[in-house]
Amino acid sequence: MARKPLVTVIDKLIAMDLLKTIFPVLSVIVAILISKKFINILEQAVKGQISSQTVLSIVGLKMVSVAVSFLPVAVFVAVIMVLGRMYRDQEMSALSSAGMGIGVLYHAVLLCVVPLSIASLWWVTVSAPRAELRIQQLIQEDSKSADLRGISAGRFSEYSQGDVVFYVQGIAADGQLQNVFVHTMEHGTSGVISADKGEIRDLPGGRYIVLLDGERIQGIPGELDFINEYFSEYALRLEERGAAIREDRWSVPTSQLWQSDDLQNIAELQRRLAIPLSILILSALAIPLAQVSPRGRVYGNIFTAFGIYFCYANLQKVGQSWVANGDVPVRFGYVWIYALMLLVIGVLVARAYGGRWLFMRVTGRWQP
């Protein structure tokens, strides 16, 4: 008797269709989510919190961390779309008449999904945290010079919470400021400074704008006691933003989470490990959900599928919250969610193929 090959023509056909569908679906989901985040990033750039050169870098890195989080739902939708099309085009009827049952479908789908799940494990544990950490580093570097970023020729700009107002008539090619006007307010005392030139210098005490060949007038508005002085060089220190990196567990290395006893870190570690497991569970769930009759609805069971997915995603958030708050033992974690999903998969398979057939298949009484 000839030995059945590990990878058949049907396996290759279904696996290739899945790969051709997963990545376009994932691209659409990521594009929708990133567009919303891109608006927020642009808003920060307009406010001067981050530089325009950093915007695209942040968006690209954010795509790396966001894409892996939504890879399970992309696989879930792709399996339903590919198998649902095969049911509507009566390809499944032809396969069934040739003696190919649900086991063939699971073999073909897992042939594509298992390597993808393994790749996502590296993606979510190594690549995504590095991308999040790099985003925070870029924001940190930009925050140091946020007070200087808005300086441009021909407009007034406020710095140091409005205590300093700058006006620069022009900026030379070498970055030197020309015809500078500065208004300062300190402890009720108003100061007006005008200079022919100015430049930005990093001095031991911080970052300064050094004005050259100018005049300074200082006093209290409404009184006649003013100070009028001329200078060849006058340094004005600008407020520099804090340089601490904001704590974000998404950027913590997985090795550090693994060694931590903190419940928040353990919950984050379980969230990362849940992504490759979710790919396997949701793909197994999608196979019975994709079954429709040739005359069935165009979208088949897609609404039921999304209802089950949203329940599953919300249960994951609940489970993560319980672990982080210490409401359940750490080892319990997501196990109850996976057990519930396996029960749902069993019910759906029994509904689609018959409980008696499933019982005979599991007990080994059924012969192909």
Q: Report the range of poorest mean pLDDT among 221-225, 276-280, 344-348.
A: 221-225
Q: Which residue has the higher pLDDT, 215 or 350?
A: 215
CA dist., res. 54 & res. 1, Å (int):
64
- Tell me the Cα Rg of the chain: 31
* Angle 1-93-107 from CA coordinates, rounded to 5°: 55
Q: Which residue has the higher pLDDT, 104 or 310?
A: 310
CA dist., res. 33 & res. 70, Å (int):
10
End-to-end alpha-carbon separation of the chain, Å?
A: 15
Task: Report the pLDDT value the prediction gives residue 348, as an integer from 0 to 100.
Answer: 82
The predicted model gives 89-94 an average pLDDT of 74
CA dist., res. 281 & res. 76, Å (int):
9
CB-CB contact of 142 with 246 (8 Å): no
CA–CA distances in Å: residue 325 to residues 251, 320, 328, 338: 20, 9, 8, 20
CB-CB contact of 235 with 208 (8 Å): yes
pLDDT digits (tens, 9 = 90+) for 121-166: 999 999 989 988 888 888 777 665 555 555 666 667 666 666 778 7
Give the residue from 185, 153, 145, 192 showing the smallest Cα distance to 169: 153
Q: Which residue has the higher pLDDT, 206 or 244?
A: 206
The predicted model gives 21-32 an average pLDDT of 88
CA–CA distances in Å: residue 329 to residues 168, 311, 336: 62, 22, 12
Task: Report the pLDDT value the prediction gives residue 277, as an integer from 0 to 100.
Answer: 93
- The token pair that represents 206 in the structure block: 């911080």
Give the alpha-carbon dihedral of 11, 13, 17, 19, to 10 degrees.
50
The predicted model gives 111-115 an average pLDDT of 90
Q: Which residues pair with 170 in a beta bridge?
A: 178
CA dist., res. 60 & res. 72, Å (int):
20
The predicted model gives 181-205 an average pLDDT of 79
Inter-residue long-range contacts of 228-237, CB under 8 Å, 24+ positions, other chains counted: 234/193, 234/195, 234/210, 235/201, 235/203, 235/208, 235/209, 235/210, 235/211, 236/164, 236/182, 236/184, 236/193, 236/208, 236/209, 236/210, 236/211, 237/205, 237/206, 237/207, 237/208
Q: Which residue has the higher pLDDT, 355 or 34?
A: 34
**Residue ranges covered by each domain of the chain:** 9-144+246-363, 162-237
pLDDT digits (tens, 9 = 90+) for 301-322: 677 788 888 899 899 999 889 9
pLDDT digits (tens, 9 = 90+) for 209-263: 788 888 888 877 667 677 788 888 888 776 554 444 455 778 888 888 888 888 8
Q: Which residues pair with 178 in a beta bridge?
A: 170, 197
Which H or E element spans position 289? Answer: helix 263-289
Task: Report the pLDDT value the prediction gives residue 124, as an integer from 0 to 100.
Answer: 92
- pLDDT band, residue 91 (cuts 50/70/90): confident
* Residues counted in the chain: 368
- What are the φ/ψ torsions at residue 99 (nearest 5 degrees)? 90, 15
CA dist., res. 71 & res. 117, Å (int):
9
Global model pTM greater than 0.85: no
Helix (H, G, I), strand (E, B) or coil at 19: helix
Average model confidence (pLDDT) across the chain: 78
Helix (H, G, I), strand (E, B) or coil at 343: helix
Helices vs. strands in the chain: H and E counts, helices first: 12, 6
